[in-house]
A = this chain, B = another copy of it.
Amino acid sequence: MNPTVTVRAADQPVAAIDEQAHAWSPATARARFRDGLTGPTAGVAAGHTQVNLISVPADWAYDMLLFCQRNPKPCPVLDVTDAGSWTTVLADGADLRTDLPRYRVWRDGELVDEPTDVRAHWRGDLVSFLIGCSFTFESALTGAGVPIRHVEQGRNVPMYVTGRQCRPAGRLHGPMVVSMRPVPPQHVAAALRETGLLPAVHGAPVHCGDPSALGIADLGRPDFGDPVDLEPDDIPMFWACGVTPQAAVMASRPPFAITHAPGQMFLTDARDEQYRIVA
């Protein structure tokens, strides 16, 4: 999937997720996405916290919250809504049904739609989980001088389903998903340190080096996002990924769920440094 940029109506002002999107406020980004703009959100409204979305019926909410508690590296929960609510304390005036660039709608574990607005699919019993996203630590990595290859190459971050099973919770089970960033050897220590200080957004990597240790056969064929080119000597570093609940939906087949599309996140008003451990 390549980054795509669309504007819904021809008479709307042209907007694109480009270098200027770094400087957008989160409210501006949400308004643009509400108006139909789509595409991966890495780098958008830089310094503001992006989150994964998963909404499940209320009778699945305890299993989902327990699944997240038991798997805090892939599923760090930053907010949970009350049933039926589409608002969150993390973003003033936001509507979780319209303000993401693109959604995925799931029935019995099968992907049935990828709309840019889920008001037609919304149910009064949906509980929404906002889960930390590794895009949050990319500003910390950039600040520490660590290059971000997928941003340099204008691509979505590559994500892979691993052979590691999450700890199950009630009816929910499934494999851990990871995101991968190639890091030059001289920057590995900084990448470990900077992300370790952000446990609310996946924290330190779960693995560095040989992808086969995670059951990943081919870095060039990610399960979500785009392949990214490694520079010579780059070491692949793998972080637990907030797409993991989507993998649990596919494996566990709850009757209904709504999620974000991988890489196309919800922009909150929170600032990345709010989640940084001060040490």
Q: Give the contacting residue for A278; candidates B65, B69, B204; CB below 8 A.
A: B204
Q: Give the contacting residue for A65; candidates B62, B192, B193; CB below 8 A.
A: B62
**How far does the Cβ of A11 sit from chain B's closest Cβ, in whole Å?**
43
Q: Quick one: which of A23-80 are within 8 Å of B by CB?
A: 61-62, 65-66, 69-70, 77, 80
What string of 1s and 0s marks CB contacts (under 8 Å) between A131-151 and chain B?
Answer: 000000000000000000000
Tell me if A199 and B277 are in contact (CB < 8 A): yes
What string of 1s and 0s marks CB contacts (under 8 Å) between A178-198 and chain B?
Answer: 000000000000001100110
In the assembled complex, A279 has its CB within 8 A of some CB on chain B:
yes
Complex formed: what's the CA distance from A95 to B254 in Å? Answer: 33
Size class of the contact patch on chain A: 10 to 19
Tell me if B277 and A196 are in contact (CB < 8 A): yes
Complex formed: what's the CA distance from A203 to B69 in Å? Answer: 17
Tell me if B65 and A279 are in contact (CB < 8 A): no
Q: Which residue of B lies closest to A62 (CB)?
A: B62
Complex formed: what's the CA distance from A80 to B70 in Å? Answer: 8
Task: Please judge, given known A-B contacts A65-B66, A69-B77, whether A199 and B196 are in contact too, CB under 8 Å.
Answer: no
Complex formed: what's the CA distance from A192 to B279 in Å? Answer: 8
| Set of chain B residues within 8 Å of A65, measured between Cβ atoms | 62, 65-66, 69
| Set of chain B residues within 8 Å of A203, measured between Cβ atoms | 277
Q: Give the contacting residue for A80; candidates B69, B196, B197, B204; CB below 8 A.
A: B69
Tell me if A278 and B199 are in contact (CB < 8 A): no
| Set of chain B residues within 8 Å of A62, measured between Cβ atoms | 61-62, 65
| Set of chain B residues within 8 Å of A279, measured between Cβ atoms | 193, 196-197, 277, 279
Q: Which residue of B lies closest to A200 (CB)?
A: B199
What string of 1s and 0s marks CB contacts (under 8 Å) between A201-217 and chain B?
Answer: 00110000000000000
Q: Which residue of B lies closest to A65 (CB)?
A: B65
| Set of chain B residues within 8 Å of A204, measured between Cβ atoms | 278
Complex formed: what's the CA distance from A204 to B197 in Å? Answer: 13
What string of 1s and 0s marks CB contacts (under 8 Å) between A259-279 and chain B?
Answer: 000000000000000000111
| Set of chain B residues within 8 Å of A70, measured between Cβ atoms | 80
Query: Can you add 9 more A-B contacts, CB < 8 Å, to A69-B69, A69-B77, A203-B277?
Result: A65-B65, A65-B69, A66-B80, A69-B80, A193-B278, A193-B279, A196-B277, A196-B278, A277-B279
Between A and B, 13 residue pairs with Cβ closer than 8 Å are: A61-B62, A62-B62, A62-B65, A65-B69, A69-B69, A69-B77, A70-B80, A196-B278, A196-B279, A197-B277, A199-B277, A203-B277, A279-B279
